[in-house]
Amino acid sequence: MKALLSRQPGGPETLELTDVPTPEPGKGELRIRVLACAINYPDVLIIEDKYQFKPPRPFAPGAEVSGVVDAIGEGVEGWAIGDRLIAVARDGGLAEAMIVPASGAIRMAADADPVEGAALIFTYGTTIHALIDRGQLKAGETLLILGAAGGIGLSAIEIGKAMGATVVAAVSSEEKAAAAREAGADRTIVYGRGPFDKEGSKALAQAFKDAVGPKGADVIYDPVGGDYAEPALRSIAWEGRYLVVGFPAGIPKLPLNLTLLKACDVRGVFWGAFVAREPERHRAHVAQLLDWWREGRIRPRIDRIYPLEQGGEAITRLASRSAIGKVVVRIDDA
């Protein structure tokens, strides 16, 4: 089978498409023929050895896939050859086949779009955990989303609206603002590219305050970080919740006096650890996502689809922060 491998730390240009042995499933495992693999920001980091998990090389990046079961390991029940599924792993998705634990596999309807299926769980799973468990978002509250036109940002718009919030989407271009409105955002704000000097930071903070209104944002969803974090925090409501999700713009340093003045919380969102520690709650979230997907209340927006041999270009596209929605590699047309 073919796989796109990382043999040494580096950018997407270091990945090599090569033939490797087809793996065999062990006890409790399924082998799947990969249909599609969504690209996420950890894929940018993991090939550069900048992610918290460092798999032994060579490995294929790609953590979020849809596929078809084509071999079943010992002791696995409830799955049959030909069943379609969604799975999330640490790596291995940019390959024609991969091994996944049967216990974590998510059944996908036979008529479901495998590209959308591959793009569903990582972003929407992170967001539903963030907004329900960490943000405790309530109907009628105001939700400010940074980076709102990326895959995770658009998922936050849709889930925020499904939960009854007023959604303010912050993006970096008018094109992205249009995508945010299409996803259901009530208001949008277009900000410039950082870094910002003191006056630029102050102006951005005021723009956030104007967008969320005089009460402030009850929940701020930040998958961006960098120079955007402090201005956003300055727009938070009394006893608001600031959700730390990711840092593609850099790891910020927040002045903690702001948390005192607003009696607000800064809360980390580590979805992978949540899944491992709270599997039953995770399964309940997944069931809710699948219901919303079937009902059409959420639907992954696909920015671009690449073939396996262009998987490095897909990672480059995501790293550029120019994608609107999810970047997906289509591996099998079945």
Q: Are residues 30 and 84 in the same domain?
A: yes
Query: Could you read off the pLDDT of 156-199 as tens digits, one per residue?
Result: 999 999 999 999 999 999 999 999 999 999 999 999 888 999 99
The H-or-E segment that residue 184 falls in is none
What pLDDT is stored for residue 194 in this prediction? Answer: 83
* Residue 322: band (very low, low, confident or very high) from pLDDT cuts 50, 70, 90: confident
- Residue 290: band (very low, low, confident or very high) from pLDDT cuts 50, 70, 90: very high
Would you state the pLDDT for residue 330?
98
pTM above 0.75, yes or no: yes
Which CATH number do you get for residue 166?
Answer: 3.40.50.720
Tell me how far apart the alpha carbons of residues 161 and 143 are, in angstroms, rounded to a whole number: 9
CATH number for the domain harbouring residue 109: 3.90.180.10
Residues 185 and 158 in one domain: yes
Q: Which residue range(s) make up the domain with 306?
A: 2-120+300-330
- Does 290 reside within a domain? no
| Measured CA distances, 140 to 146, 163, 165, 288 (Å) | 19, 9, 5, 20
Number of domains in the chain: 2
Q: Residue 314 and residue 318: Cα distance in Å, rounded?
A: 6
Say yes or no: 44 and 179 in one domain.
no
Same-domain status, 152 and 72 = no
Average pLDDT score over the chain: 96
Look at residue 292 and tell me if it is in a domain: no
Is 163 found in the same domain as 26? no
Q: Are residues 84 and 207 in the same domain?
A: no
Does residue 165 sit within a domain? yes
Residues 112 and 159 in one domain: no
Q: 3-class secondary structure for 241-279?
A: EEEECCCCCCCCCCCCHHHHHHCCEEEECCHHHHHHHCH
Any domain includes 294 = no
Question: Is 128 among the domain residues?
Answer: yes
**229-269 per-position pLDDT tens digit:** 999 999 999 999 999 999 988 999 999 999 999 999 999 99
Are residue 212 and residue 74 in the same domain, yes or no?
no
